[in-house]
Amino acid sequence: MPQQLTVTVDNVIFTVVGNALQVLLVKRAAEPFAGKYALPGGKLDTSNDKDGNAAATRILREKTGLAINYLEQLKTYSGDFDPRGYTVSMAHYALTYHQELSPKVKSVENAVWMPVEIVGDLSLAFIHKEIIDDALMRLREKARYSLLPLYCLPDQFTVAQYASVLEAILNKSVYPKTLLRRFELVNKDEDIIIATGTKAPLSPGQRGKGGDLYRLTKPIASINFSRNLME
Amino acid sequence: MPQQLTVTVDNVIFTVVGNALQVLLVKRAAEPFAGKYALPGGKLDTSNDKDGNAAATRILREKTGLAINYLEQLKTYSGDFDPRGYTVSMAHYALTYHQELSPKVKSVENAVWMPVEIVGDLSLAFIHKEIIDDALMRLREKARYSLLPLYCLPDQFTVAQYASVLEAILNKSVYPKTLLRRFELVNKDEDIIIATGTKAPLSPGQRGKGGDLYRLTKPIASINFSRNLME
DNA sequence: GGAATAGTGTCTTTAAGACAATATTTT
DNA sequence: AAAATATTGTCTTAAAGACACTATTCC
């Protein structure tokens, strides 16, 4: 008689608001860990979810309704961290541009965007703090040698916006010059990040130049640079 | 009534023999896929395995008896790739110096070291070809910015041996000079890769100089360089 | 000595860091 | 014009690539 074993999916959804990297958390209604914040997740439904990725996508849609720009598997956690029994949790992490949570999601799920510096001080459900730490480490590594953080921006973006997203992720200043050089590198053989020819509009009252807008012509998840930005 | 769901562990064990990167495969005795080669793996035993890593370690010990230098989680595969039902497979990959398979393992398990160029031509069980491809990609990436391939060598090793392991993994020539410079970089603050002061003995009949031997003073899994070796 | 292999010196190349100078826009 | 922000030019720096030259050992 095989022991009870539950397979779940947990998602770490990142976005950047202003100068802060934030993570989506939902307040748990039921035991265990009722009242604590947790990652949006749920059970793998073997009759409907083709695989773990499909489960993650479904749960994000059902629980958050957010448009997700990028989703990838992070790591799988297993053991007895859930008092109800042995659990295997396939964790994913996702990137999206900043969106207000719909009032429904916000109230029914008690969902909030939580700055990552604050997450360290919270007591989270299950091993979700460990999962967030791992996702953060992965995001920070990839931010230094890929273009993934562009997925925290809307469709059209400026170099300055990209620098500011990177600064929120890496907690260090980044030279826009370097980022522009990377755009040129990427475009060497093929136009992948193209200037739209328009300038970013300034919000009312904002002074300054208004940066050149760029947009992607294709997915960039597999573009990696041979060097990292420095620590 | 929850559907049947099996959680398994599969391991991709790499070693380098001569100039070839090889992977451990076992011939399956039972259906499904009887007679086909497969990765050494097995079911997660929730009453004895603390977590997936423990399961991987146990299965490697039971099935291969090999000494493993390095083991890390690769990715988790899920879906209906096993005709017996929905499966979640936590894949790991491991590195070890070349060891002859014990006669027992070799006969009972029908285990062999298989060069990776040949794996492409084989028909493997389940989705094990995909898993090997993913592990290979990960190994090749890490080989370019970490010291992990040192785990394919014995305790004491020469720069030339390291270059030759890298060449087997990357399928391209590597400058020993670059590797020595990396040793110096790593040792900048702390002695991590130290010269033993002895030279590698030459096998009988072998001519040449006999390289300087080095050894590790601590684990190197978390040492990453800021640049990659070139493609 | 010659062949084979290993280690060293040093010049080149690539791409990031640093920062001053210039450009654009709003108040 | 002054302030704020963005972009460009260009010098510096870090570390890999390339390769010739020297060193060691066995036949």
pLDDT for B28-42, tens place per residue?
A: 999 999 999 999 999
Tell me if chain B has a CB within 8 Å of the CB of A207. no
Cα B109-B112-B118 angle, rounded to 5 deg: 135
How many angstroms separate the CA of residue B199 from the nearest CA in chain A?
34
Task: Give the integer Cα–Cα distance in Å for A25 and A18.
Answer: 18
Least confident interval from A141-145, A147-151, A206-210, B143-147: A206-210
The burial class, CB within 10 Å (0-12 / 13-18 / 19+), for A123 is exposed
Contacts of A86 in chain B (CB under 8 A): 46
Burial A100-113 (b: 16+ CB within 10 A, else e): ebeeebeeebebeb
As a whole number of Å, the CA-based R_g of chain B is: 19
Q: What is the pLDDT of residue B231?
A: 78
Residue A113, classed as helix, strand or coil, is: strand
Reported pTM: 0.96
Task: Give the integer Cα–Cα distance in Å for A1 and B36.
Answer: 29
| Residue B209 Cβ under 7 A from any strand C atom | yes
Q: What is the pLDDT of residue B136?
A: 98
Q: What is the pLDDT of residue B107?
A: 83
| Residue A188 Cβ under 7 A from any strand C atom | no
* Interchain contact, A78 vs B44, CB within 8 Å: yes
* Interchain contact, B226 vs A226, CB within 8 Å: no
* Interchain contact, B3 vs A76, CB within 8 Å: no
Task: Give the integer Cα–Cα distance in Å for A79 and A52.
Answer: 18
Q: Is the pLDDT of residue A106 over 90?
A: no
Q: State mean pLDDT over A109-128.
A: 95
Contacts of B76 in chain A (CB under 8 A): 52, 73, 76, 90
Residue B118, classed as helix, strand or coil, is: helix
Q: What percent of chain B clears pLDDT 70, i.e. is strictly above it?
A: 99
Q: Over the stretch B70-94, which tens digit does the pLDDT of each residue have?
A: 999 999 999 999 999 999 999 999 9
* Interchain contact, A73 vs B76, CB within 8 Å: yes
Q: Which B residues, 70 through 89, put their C-beta within 8 Å of a C-beta on chain A?
A: 73, 75-79, 86, 88
Q: Over the stretch A19-32, which tens digit does the pLDDT of each residue have?
A: 999 999 999 999 99
> Which single residue has its CA nearest the C1' atom of nucleotide C24?
A209
Burial B146-185 (b: 16+ CB within 10 A, else e): bbbbbbbbeeebbbbbbbbbbebbbeeebebeebbebbee
Q: What is the pLDDT of residue B1?
A: 46
* Interchain contact, B3 vs A47, CB within 8 Å: yes
State yes or no: cis peptide before B204, omega within 30 of 0: no
* Interchain contact, B51 vs A75, CB within 8 Å: no
Long-range CB contacts (within 8 A, 24+) of B48-57: B50/A79, B51/A77, B51/A78, B51/A79, B52/A76, B52/A78, B52/A88, B52/B9, B52/B90, B52/B92, B53/B92, B55/B9, B55/B90, B56/B9, B56/B11, B56/B90, B56/B92, B56/B94
Q: What is the pLDDT of residue B3?
A: 60
Burial A67-95 (b: 16+ CB within 10 A, else e): ebbbbebbbbbbbeebeeebbbbbbbbbb
Protein residues in reach of strand D (CB < 7 A): A 158-161, 176-177, 180, 200, 206-212; B 174-175, 177-178, 181-182, 185, 199, 202, 204-210, 225-227, 229-230
Q: Is the pLDDT of residue A1 over 70?
A: no
**Confidence class of residue A105 from pLDDT cuts 50, 70 and 90?**
confident
Task: Give the integer Cα–Cα distance in Å for A184 and A170.
Answer: 22
Q: What percent of chain A clears pLDDT 70, i.e. is strictly above it?
A: 99
**Confidence class of residue A2 from pLDDT cuts 50, 70 and 90?**
low
Q: What is the pLDDT of residue A89?
A: 98
Task: Give the integer Cα–Cα distance in Å for A188 and A48.
Answer: 43
Q: Over the stretch B102-151, which tens digit does the pLDDT of each residue have?
A: 888 888 889 999 999 999 999 999 999 999 999 999 999 999 999 999 99
Q: How many cross-chain Cβ pairs, A to B, lie less than 8 Å apart?
A: 59
| CA A209 / C1′ C23 distance in Å | 8
Residue A214, classed as helix, strand or coil, is: strand
Q: What is the pLDDT of residue B102?
A: 87
Q: Over the stretch A158-187, which tens digit does the pLDDT of each residue have?
A: 999 999 999 999 999 999 999 999 999 999
